[in-house]
């Protein structure tokens, strides 16, 4: 019986030569615009050509899934960064929007094979959202972009030779 060594597949955090789309919700723009700035900062620091980054604004989190699915179908991007903020209110609207947006993004990524970084904040308060959009808890837009870079470098190692 032969023993086969396990392979290790590591990714890099270089965005050089990669194409990204950022889909950002306009709703709660006081939160989403800092998330966008954080994502662009991360991409720039990692070597992405920011002139090659497509930024697509949508009305709200509900519109994220269909938009990322259409962008992924274009096969023009190595990864898509999804940014938005759903802040809990007094009605169950939060649960429907946040849950369906998350499910829709996950389904779109799984079905298309394009990595989609989840930078959709789902918070109980405005303060929590602000803290995660460049406040005391960092910038989740920056974090989502770093995830997108890592996955854009990792997944091609599993695709058939010659396919990006």
Q: Which domains does the chain have, with CATH numbers?
A: 20-155 (3.40.50.960)
Residue 8 confidence (pLDDT) = 59
In whole numbers, what is the pLDDT of the chain averaged over residues? 92
Using one digit for the tens of pLDDT, what is the confidence trace for 49-61?
A: 999 999 999 999 9
Residue 163 confidence (pLDDT) = 46
Catalytic position from the list 93, 103, 159, 164? 93
Q: Is the pLDDT of residue 4 over 60?
A: no
| pTM of the complete model | 0.90
Residue 160 confidence (pLDDT) = 63
Give the model's confidence band at 89: pLDDT under 50 very low, under 70 low, under 90 confident, else very high.
Answer: confident
Average pLDDT rounded to a whole number, residues 92-103: 93
CB 3 within 8 A of CB 148: no
Using one digit for the tens of pLDDT, what is the confidence trace for 113-144?
A: 999 999 999 999 999 999 999 999 999 999 99
Q: Is the pLDDT of residue 12 over 90?
A: no
Question: How many Å apart are CA 63 and CA 53, to the nearest integer?
Answer: 20
Residue 93 confidence (pLDDT) = 87
Q: Is 163 a catalytic residue?
A: no
Using one digit for the tens of pLDDT, what is the confidence trace for 16-70?
A: 999 999 999 999 999 999 999 999 999 999 999 999 999 999 999 999 999 999 9
More confident residue, 159 or 150: 150
Give the model's confidence band at 156: pLDDT under 50 very low, under 70 low, under 90 confident, else very high.
Answer: confident
Residue 162 confidence (pLDDT) = 46
Residue 158 confidence (pLDDT) = 75
């Amino acid at each position: 019986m032969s023993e086969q060594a396990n392979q290790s597949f590591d990714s890099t955090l270089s965005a050089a030569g990669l194409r990204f789309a950022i889909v950002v919700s306009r709703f709660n723009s006081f939160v989403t615009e800092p998330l966008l700035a954080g994502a662009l900062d991360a991409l720039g620091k990692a070597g992405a050509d920011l002139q090659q980054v497509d930024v697509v604004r949508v009305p709200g989190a509900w519109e994220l899934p269909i938009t990322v699915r259409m962008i992924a179908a274009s096969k023009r991007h190595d990864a898509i960064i999804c940014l938005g903020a759903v802040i809990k209110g007094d009605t169950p609207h939060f649960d429907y929007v946040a849950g369906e947006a998350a499910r829709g993004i996950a389904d779109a990524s799984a079905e298309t094979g394009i990595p989609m970084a989840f930078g959709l904040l789902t918070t109980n308060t405005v303060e929590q959202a602000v803290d995660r959009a460049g406040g005391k808890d960092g910038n989740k837009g920056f974090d989502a972009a770093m995830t997108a870079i890592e996955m854009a470098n990792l997944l091609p190692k599993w695709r058939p030779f010659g396919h990006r």
